[in-house]
Chain A
């Protein structure tokens, strides 16, 4: 499964940069235009007119950024919805699903604190693609065996066979939360002063993106790359798992 999240976000960021450049160019055009008309009006009138036009150019550029931000958020939501069904799998609709869960809980309780990854996997195999329940089972097993046995000194889960996918999904959800939080106001940061243009002894300022915005864009891309890596790894792990099951069943 290949996700195009990074490519799409890169495209939107490029469009935003192009919009910022266009805004700066338009501001310079406004000044050039008034240079040719400087003899017809009083300096006071020209100063006021230039400032008004520059404000209009900046406002229009900001509105384009609002649209780009809306597009960015839509891309992220689309990607999240694309990835989550893949991770969650189809939810079982069978009427005895809750009974199966209860049985699994009883088995887990019966095994107690001595439960191994292999045993937990055998008990929880039917729910392996149901993230919500696996998340709850992970908490139960962690409480039963204790955190020090559940997670090793490197911070990795000792029940990787059973809860490896669940942990990766947790990571993905956290990453998506971070991505959404960065994207919330991306492109809408107040612009900073970039270039000072002098006209008739008056100073006008061309605006551009600040450091915090550029840094957020870079962080967003890094997070998206991480998401893409995890999804790819999960997809290849899934194929491997399916092959293992097929081998066991002799298909």
Chain B
């Protein structure tokens, strides 16, 4: 039974790492002023930033969802209560 707690903690650590990575990427988009196309520097509009942030969210939330799905499968096999993925609802809307 102790092994499952180690798995839970390791997988939740992975979720936290992905969340941190996601926040770092979103932060760098927020402070980014322009993007490069070849030699050209094109200013980033707030709409473009919003689109970039949306894509980052989607990418990382999908990875987090995969972790929760895998973990919950193991928990179900042991007849233990599943963990809610707090990131799921948001990007599904």
A interface residues, Cβ below 8 angstroms from B: 15, 22, 26, 29-30, 33, 36-37, 41, 49, 59-60, 62-64, 66-68, 70-71, 74-75, 77-78, 81-82
**Residue count of chain B within 8 Å CB distance of chain A:** 22
**CB within 8 A of A33: which of B9, B15, B30?**
B30
B27 touches A26 (CB 8 A): yes
Knowing A74-B9, A81-B2 touch, does A33 contact B16 (C-beta < 8 A)?
no
- Are the C-beta atoms of B86 and A81 separated by less than 8 Å? no
Residue in B12, B27, B31, B90 whose CB lies within 8 Å of A71: B12
**A63 in complex: contacting residue of B8, B13, B19, CB < 8 Å:** B19
**Which B residues form the contact surface with A (CB < 8 A)?**
1-2, 5-6, 8-9, 12-13, 15-16, 19, 23, 27, 30-31, 33, 46, 83-84, 86-87, 90
Q: Kindly report which residue of chain B lies nearest to residue A76, judged by CB atoms.
A: B5
Q: List 26 A-B contacts (CB under 8 A).
A: A26-B27, A29-B30, A29-B31, A30-B30, A33-B30, A49-B46, A59-B90, A60-B19, A60-B23, A63-B87, A64-B16, A64-B19, A66-B84, A66-B86, A67-B15, A67-B86, A70-B8, A71-B8, A71-B16, A74-B9, A75-B5, A75-B9, A77-B5, A78-B2, A78-B9, A81-B5
